[in-house]
Amino acid sequence: MTLLRVLFYFLSFIAIVSALYAASSKNLVRSIFVFFVTLFSLAGLYVLALADFVAVTQVVIYVGGILVLILFAFMLSGKETLNVLQKQEGKFLSMKKLPAILLAVLFFVVLINVVFKANADNLPWVRDAISLKNEITPKDIMIDNIGVNLMTRYLLPFEAISILLLVALVGAAHLSRKEGKA
């Protein structure tokens, strides 16, 4: 039990620190590659929340797909993107960024307040789930259940999302077409 907590703190520490570094870094390439680390540690956190299938999907789609796409966009948009960043030299806490930092910190305070007021561990439906043994335990294998649910209970959102993916694909292809012919 304690090992679980240590692992949780370790992974969440890595996730938050690497996200902070990605946010504060002026170098775009570093920011992208540190985002890798954030995504991997988030996949670890999903495993600790007993959602191993979501963790694997996260690694496949985010790390294998989205980050490669972002790297491609960065490489295709050339040196100019780096020059934008090099211009704004200065300290970590410059006056220009103060409103953004203030916004983020105040929002964090509000969120933490809400989390502690909501007292999520004593929500009625969570307690019901624990008493009815409707809670996922580490010994359960949920993947077959997810597959069955995806094809029965959640079939409509599944189909809707497949159409949306098709629309996004066609839209992205249309947007990145050569101009002039349009």
Partner 1 sequence: MITLTDFLIVSAALFCIGLYMTVSKRNAIQILIGIELILNAAILNLVAFGKYDKVNNSGQIFALFAIVLAAATTAVALAIILNVYRRYKTIDPNDITKLRD
Find the binding residues for partner 1 in span 1-20 (CB under 8 A). Answer: 1, 4-5, 8, 12, 15-16, 19-20
Binding-site size for partner 1 (CB under 8 A) equals: 90
What burial class does residue 128 get, using C-beta atoms within 10 Å of its C-beta: 0-12 exposed, 13-18 middle, 19+ buried? exposed
CA gyration radius for the chain?
21
Please report how close the Cβ of residue 136 comes to partner 1 at its closest, in angstroms: 5
Sign of CA dihedral 72, 165, 41, 145: negative
- Smallest distance from partner 1 to CB 21, Å: 10
DSSP labels, 131-171: HTT-S--TT---HHHHHHHHHTTTHHHHHHHHHHHHHHHHH
User: Which one of residues 10, 90, 141, 145 is an interface residue with partner 1 (CB under 8 A)?
Assistant: 145
Residue with tokens 């907590």: 5
Per-residue contact flags (x/-) with partner 1 for residues 163 to 182, judged by CB under 8 A:
-xx--xx-xxx-xx------
Told to check if 39 binds partner 1 by CB under 8 A, we report yes
154 is a contact residue toward partner 1 (CB under 8 A): yes
Min dist. Cβ of residue 143 to partner 1 (A): 10
Of residues 45-104, those binding partner 1 (CB under 8 A) = 45-46, 48-51, 53-54, 57-58, 61-62, 65-66, 69-70, 72-74, 76-78, 80-81, 84-85, 88, 96-97, 99-101, 103-104
C-alpha 117/C-alpha 2 separation (Å) is 26
Q: Does 112 bind partner 1 (CB under 8 A)?
A: yes
For helices 143-151 and 155-175, give the axis angle rounded to 10 degrees.
Answer: 80
Whole-angstrom Cα distance, residue 108 to residue 19? 15
Q: Which of 90, 93, 129, 159 binds partner 1 (CB under 8 A)?
A: 129
- How far apart, in whole angstroms, are the C-alpha atoms of residue 175 and residue 116? 45
Minimal distance, residue 174 CB to partner 1, in Å: 8
CB of 52 to partner 1, least distance (A): 9
